[in-house]
Structure 1
């Protein structure tokens, strides 16, 4: 029988604690170090690039890796950003006060979605924790514990995916029974399994009512939304369990209302480069974010991802931007003040969790003073008086901090000396004793130098021996007999005497007591600050809004944007519109070529745009959608003039890509995205389609592109559409369908070269100039020459491009008497055309294609 491996008491204690937090990296405090053991040590050593060693553990060894306790703020963010949950295990008693093993316990758990550590957070981004649950409908909640932002929603899978991609949570909580069903739906996100009982409805409605001190959730507009209540309660429970902190700064929850915001899915966010989550490429948010405060930047990102659909609210933002743009003194004054306002939104969470530093207290006070200066200035403006009246001056908060904390306090409480004189009488007296003691030390040193004639004599201090005299070896014969030697060094010896020991007791006693009083007064201060959290958060929202509007005004001035006219009619009329991202990426001196766009439901619903690669088709499509988004978030737009109706959904299908990991080809991905568009249309939709059908054969592609364009034209909603294509055959649609108009991006043919004019003009084109583009890209001359010969040969043999009946376009090239054609005919005879959806037709088309492949 194998004997049980003996463990040291320390490792035995570690294993007991680790068993409770098995899915966390356990940082185990041992003296002045945080140690990791076993597999945790192996993981930590790789991530942190620290030495991996082994420690004796009874009859065996165990892996060990650690770092000094004061380096926690350096190493902790690296562990969390690597996607790890970290449990911090502290010593709960003074090692000097016990002869047994020191008591230890986990005081905090840091996860990707729950952290209050500044070094693990991104200043300009929210750190959302999410929870998802399915019971017929999907329920989802998003909670940023550092700002108190709390949102929830109930709906279908498509809406949930859209929200997850927009909010970009750092961690998603899923019940153990649903993890297999959901984990593949939300790839590229950190997911945590939670016990099923935590998703109980009664349990979570009690958590929410208890937290918000309510009897009903009607006031938040989520009463009766069972799945939303479940996921919201799960988020709160998880934060309370992991942080061991008060979180009463989370004082509200908002229901996400799709009707109030424009639907922008993950494809559109990516295709339009609205936000580049994991890329350094320039995005729309980079262009328009000229905010001064972290909370302003976070709010601006939400504005961009959730544009408004309420005309009144949009115009109200435009009006404010215009006022700031026109009033230079006001704009410059606010801009200068905002630069020095701290992240008061996140300071609220630090107050609630008692993690606020003395320095942050002063930052909060100074920010409140600056906000009051803005309030006074805005009071002089009739247009902004309504906003300024909502700002709370918080004079009591300013006075409390000013009375308690010194002007230049340390960032860490442990540094001490941050409470002002006059706050506590005993503290003032002890500080006087400490100051005098230091004078006594100097006097004692002078006296002993005179007595001993040791000119190099010094008084030093360390945690082991306390205060001591240090005597160099050249003078040790002069040491008096009544001195006691405490330590021998290579070139010196250290001694103490009775006078020095008495002085040490006085100094150390006063130091300890000073620290106790400062901490006590600081706790009193934090309790007082808790009373102001709601008012601080309210001011933060107002300042964030002002910051965003100011950013829009600055960007509009710098980039020559104009105020768009928002109209009730669903139409777009843009004069000399520009792409906001591309125009900022051009080489110095090169100007962007602007274009006009007119879209309406009366006579120009769909623009069929042709032209060669690199001519600028995609830029025209994207800039139109970006101008609409800018207008509906309240920003001015890059154009000479713009009249824009209100849209509630913006769809894009751009470029060719595949999803190999899910077994989906380029064409299947294209069809899935297109199906998502046609199945979610509304009467206020804007559609951007770029190169539909190029993921399959030419005839298949033309057929599908034609069918999709026809469906969009004929559907009652009449969604406005920009349709870029290489298929010149689609130009024939203008003759058949009244609201489809042909346009092309013009070029100038210079014989063996082409010049891109990048101007959108009426009429279609039948030339792709692909060989010219290949030549420009640097293809060898041999390939270019061969391709030109093949092109001439094909052009002589090909039939007319004219399409008389689209349903005959592909079928006429097959033998009608073949077995395959008979099988296809049989399938088509059984098709219920009247009740087919666009997705059904695409699936049926795929089946027919498979029959031909098996030929």
Structure 2
């Protein structure tokens, strides 16, 4: 069972002289105040810390002493579950009246009021009119107030048999003990209630009233002895979805408990349960990772939160001797059905590989069979992950376990990964999402062959994907997708640029073909359909989980049939252009040909149109849920309708008997045109002046000032029988709906393949929209290594922001240098230029056109960056240490076929140390036979002294300008890359742009000039020798070099 950090609860008596005096003066009742505190500064998740909460209950008392009592721990969550300094006041003397009025309405749920009688003040009163009940409640409250006004004790005395629970409370207790890790929201009539510990937490989060009672399920709080029933809070069933979302947002697991039998079935079915309370069981369970897949939270926007989020199964094994940790990960995205598995090793404290997977897979919920160390947990805190720990309380049946083991064997899972898969299955089963793990085609490894896996730092420094894919990111630039599942696939392409030339060329061919064919009727119609297509992939997975709604299934089948019809209607065009080898599409694009052929083959099958024909469209559109359920099937086409038809005949038979009874009543009352008041309760309405003429056996149900309504003994019996058959009809229709879903689930693999093809087409269409831009060209690829050549290239992101961007040529190869040192003024465009090169490479390897007149390049296996400056306070790392860790990670990962971006390495420490590090790093790469392609920006003049046949120096061009009254030269940026090295950074010019006072800048200029003269005579520290010795040691592996350099930068005289 899942376990989470404890919420401590404290209960205390506290005296309140002012309040007590006021109460005494007004003769008011005693109040019980429930409050809580925590260290959170607000309700929003963005400000939530992960401290433990405190919940207090303060009871007004004449006593001046305080008494604080610890309560059994209730819930364990990784983040705040309760707001700060909230107070809910409850009048104890209204307790019984409130409990009575919050139960279900009298007419429809009288039976519930009787069976749960101990929760009501007067169980028999539920059968009487509301007016009578209200009078009795007012009388009861008046007597109680008089008694309490003179009572010295504020807490009621313990009645007899207080330890004996009511039948409903006993049922709640049994459910809670089996689900300790969840908040239980339990249906009672037309309301949902939470009891005991759950009620305290929920009332504080939702700001709703808490009715006093036992505060713990196990009666472990001393004040629990004062009450006979559990404390509870309640809300109308219409508010369930709203409140669920708030609770889940606070990292709580929530289970919704529903009644599984009705009054009519309980009374008329001989096989029904005869206990005092209705049967109840958990129908839905929600957590942060699973709520988005449920229709209660479905969003119309294609960028629904959670579409790219995942739930992780995470296990690990620490090797102290090797200073390493082995991770086992299974990541499931419930929206798209994708399961990623991975086993990898990381440095015990570095965690770079784990951070990479967190960035790519975006977990929002973690389950683990072991307690995660704090330094690992800290990585999940920014995203407020819900972390749970599994145990062996629940078991997986043998058949499922065999299937999971077969999948593990087929995918060559390690034993730990197989065990984790079983844990994961058991955990997801409580949410109804476990079927996802039984579909073998859903699995794929994280380390996908033939692609670049962009690192965490590369994604951030190049603005590949930003929060919510906001303006200014590569994702924002490329996203012209029409569907949400197309957007998900595009995101995968962007984060994993291909290293397979065949895949890249296939995508480029498809883009070129689309640009030429996009105006044909077929493609225009297809594109128009996609604009109105909902998230078919999400719906398909909801169908597999059995959580989809009837309306959602109808629209899913309707959309799939619309695509089928499109391909059938344009079969002549497709025959000529796709299926014939000399057609425009067949001859230009193998990818488009495959997509269209696969979808076309599916369109010839009849399963989906047949299933759609079984649905009664008018019933699907019904707002009344019961009518939607019983009328969902078109019984003329549905092939399992026999039992439904039989029950409908039984219903009609009872209605016929009711009609016969009406004829007798008309004759008796001599009213030939008399009708039943309605066709629900079948009341006979009689004027009050004529009541004396009706038989004594008639049962009065209600009355107004003018009329009274009755049931005869016969109609009452028939109405009960009618309701019984109606309930059976609902049950049978629900059963057949489940069968219908299973039939659709059998087509899962075929449907998913079609949807995947549509998503691929959507991605090609999106890239085509970008590639149509003026000045974009198709990149060419060469078999040469370490080669980039481009004419008039631009930064695609900056250009798209409508900024006049200066184009630059790129030439990096054996002849023009594989290492380029780029110098120039601050704000002169150095960082933008090197980002531009990397973005062009990524765009090209995604399979997109690039912003340039011409581009030819190698296919790179890595794009590694060290750009910007930041620290990591949570891990205690300084800016310089973070910088060095990233540099060393690049040293470890780079190959002779990588592209490296090193932006002002050494900026995080002193000038002399920074120079030493930069110099040594370049020397190391230049003397390495597998030197990658490197773009290195710097402000250190000494870097221009390095000579090598592989190295070229460039600078961002500028023009100096001397202005009156200024000792320093101003600079005009030209943003053009020119050969040669420049020694001046013109930092004072940036100070001027920031409106720093001229006198200050003049003084700074004099100090700068003096510092330059001094530095000319100074020598580097010992760092160059150390770096060259460590990095150049051929005997050591990259790992050994990494460890040695870490120890070096940790020395006290180097770290800032």
TM-score (normalised: structure 2): 0.69
Structure 1 position 762, deviation (Å): 2.2
Q: Which residue of 1 aligns with 2:310?
A: 128
* Matches for 1:391-470 after TM superposition, within 5 Å: 391=599, 392-393=602-603, 395-408=605-618, 409-410=620-621, 414=626, 415-416=628-629, 417-422=631-636, 423=638, 424=641, 430=648, 433=652, 459=677, 466-468=681-683
1:239 is the counterpart of 2:428: yes
* Distance of aligned partners of 1:571 and 1:244 in 2 relative to their CA distance in 1, 3 Å threshold: closer
Q: Which residue of 2 aligns with 1:89?
A: 257
Q: Which residue of 2 aligns with 1:117?
A: 294
Q: Which residue of 1 aligns with 2:60?
A: none
Structure 1 position 166, deviation (Å): 0.3
Q: Is contact 2:186–2:257 with CA below 8 Å preserved after alignment?
A: yes
1:799 is the counterpart of 2:1021: no
Of 236, 258, 267, the match for 1:68: 236
CA deviations on 1:606-664 (whole Å, 9 max, x unpaired) are 22222333332222222221221111121222222221211111111111111111111
CA deviations on 1:30-87 (whole Å, 9 max, x unpaired) are 2222222344334334544544443577723755333333433333233323322222
Q: Partners in 1 of 2:197 and 2:732 — Cα distance?
A: 42
Of 157, 182, 187, the match for 1:24: 182
* Distance of aligned partners of 1:373 and 1:749 in 2 relative to their CA distance in 1, 3 Å threshold: farther
Three-state SS of the structure 1 residue aligned to 2:606 is helix
Of 937, 955, 968, the match for 1:744: 955
1:487 is the counterpart of 2:702: yes
Q: Partners in 2 of 1:346 and 1:314 — Cα distance?
A: 28
246-255 or 607-616: bigger deviation: 246-255
* Matches for 1:23-42 after TM superposition, within 5 Å: 23-42=181-200
Of 539, 547, 560, the match for 1:355: 547
Q: Which residue of 1 aligns with 2:848?
A: 635
* Distance of aligned partners of 1:513 and 1:764 in 2 relative to their CA distance in 1, 3 Å threshold: same
627-636 or 839-848: bigger deviation: 839-848
Three-state SS of the structure 1 residue aligned to 2:1009 is helix
Structure 1 position 324, deviation (Å): 0.8
Of 574, 593, 597, the match for 1:385: 593
Three-state SS of the structure 2 residue aligned to 1:389 is helix
Structure 1 position 539, deviation (Å): 0.9
Q: Is contact 2:360–2:495 with CA below 8 Å preserved after alignment?
A: yes
Structure 1 position 218, deviation (Å): 5.7
Three-state SS of the structure 1 residue aligned to 2:363 is coil
1:610 is the counterpart of 2:823: yes
* Distance of aligned partners of 1:264 and 1:470 in 2 relative to their CA distance in 1, 3 Å threshold: farther
Three-state SS of the structure 1 residue aligned to 2:839 is helix
Q: Which residue of 2 aligns with 1:817?
A: none
655-664 or 788-797: bigger deviation: 788-797
Q: Partners in 2 of 1:307 and 1:290 — Cα distance?
A: 18
Q: Partners in 2 of 1:480 and 1:632 — Cα distance?
A: 91
Q: Partners in 1 of 2:1043 and 2:729 — Cα distance?
A: 77
1:194 is the counterpart of 2:361: no
Structure 1 position 320, deviation (Å): 0.9
Q: Which residue of 2 aligns with 1:8?
A: 165
Q: Which residue of 2 aligns with 1:332?
A: 524
Of 754, 757, 763, the match for 2:980: 763
Q: Is contact 1:359–1:411 with CA below 8 Å preserved after alignment?
A: no
Of 758, 768, 778, the match for 1:543: 758
Q: Which residue of 1 aligns with 2:780?
A: 565
Structure 1 position 452, deviation (Å): 8.5
Structure 1 position 362, deviation (Å): 1.9
Q: Which residue of 1 aligns with 2:9?
A: none
Structure 1 position 673, deviation (Å): 1.3
Of 159, 164, 180, the match for 2:353: 159
Q: Partners in 2 of 1:852 and 1:275 — Cα distance?
A: 32
Q: Partners in 2 of 1:301 and 1:684 — Cα distance?
A: 24
Of 863, 870, 876, the match for 1:663: 876
Q: Is contact 1:240–1:247 with CA below 8 Å preserved after alignment?
A: no
558-567 or 21-30: bigger deviation: 558-567
* Distance of aligned partners of 1:598 and 1:78 in 2 relative to their CA distance in 1, 3 Å threshold: farther
Q: Which residue of 1 aligns with 2:801?
A: 585
Structure 1 position 323, deviation (Å): 0.8
CA deviations on 1:274-298 (whole Å, 9 max, x unpaired) are 1124674542212212112221111
503-512 or 5-14: bigger deviation: 503-512
280-289 or 750-759: bigger deviation: 750-759
Structure 1 residue runs without a partner (length 5+): 812-823
* Distance of aligned partners of 1:261 and 1:204 in 2 relative to their CA distance in 1, 3 Å threshold: farther
Q: Partners in 1 of 2:725 and 2:1028 — Cα distance?
A: 98
Q: Partners in 1 of 2:295 and 2:514 — Cα distance?
A: 33
1:710 is the counterpart of 2:923: yes
Three-state SS of the structure 1 residue aligned to 2:906 is coil
Structure 1 position 772, deviation (Å): 2.3
Structure 1 position 577, deviation (Å): 2.3
Q: Which residue of 2 aligns with 1:815?
A: none
Q: Partners in 2 of 1:638 and 1:428 — Cα distance?
A: 66
Q: Which residue of 1 aligns with 2:990?
A: 773
* Distance of aligned partners of 1:552 and 1:177 in 2 relative to their CA distance in 1, 3 Å threshold: same
Q: Partners in 2 of 1:524 and 1:238 — Cα distance?
A: 25
Q: Partners in 1 of 2:801 and 2:209 — Cα distance?
A: 45
1:283 is the counterpart of 2:473: yes
* Matches for 1:359-378 after TM superposition, within 5 Å: 359-373=551-565, 375-376=567-568, 377=570, 378=574
TM-score (normalised: structure 1): 0.84
Structure of higher RCO (CA pairs closer than 8 Å, 6+ residues apart): 1
Structure 2 residue runs without a partner (length 5+): 1-156, 215-223, 267-273, 320-325, 347-351, 579-585, 964-969
Q: Partners in 2 of 1:328 and 1:826 — Cα distance?
A: 61
Structure 1 position 161, deviation (Å): 3.0
CA deviations on 1:660-696 (whole Å, 9 max, x unpaired) are 1111111111111111111111122111122221111
Q: Partners in 2 of 1:838 and 1:106 — Cα distance?
A: 56
Of 241, 246, 249, the match for 1:78: 246
* Distance of aligned partners of 1:776 and 1:401 in 2 relative to their CA distance in 1, 3 Å threshold: same
Q: Is contact 1:249–1:348 with CA below 8 Å preserved after alignment?
A: no
Three-state SS of the structure 1 residue aligned to 2:533 is coil
Q: Is contact 1:347–1:356 with CA below 8 Å preserved after alignment?
A: yes
112-121 or 500-509: bigger deviation: 500-509
CA deviations on 1:413-460 (whole Å, 9 max, x unpaired) are 6433222242447857949959999x989x99xx99x988999x9945
Q: Is contact 2:920–2:1027 with CA below 8 Å preserved after alignment?
A: no
765-774 or 836-845: bigger deviation: 836-845
276-285 or 78-87: bigger deviation: 276-285
Q: Is contact 1:404–1:525 with CA below 8 Å preserved after alignment?
A: no
* Distance of aligned partners of 1:605 and 1:69 in 2 relative to their CA distance in 1, 3 Å threshold: same
Three-state SS of the structure 1 residue aligned to 2:871 is coil
Q: Partners in 2 of 1:755 and 1:411 — Cα distance?
A: 69
* Distance of aligned partners of 1:46 and 1:311 in 2 relative to their CA distance in 1, 3 Å threshold: farther
* Distance of aligned partners of 1:79 and 1:198 in 2 relative to their CA distance in 1, 3 Å threshold: same
Superposition CA RMSD, Å: 4.2
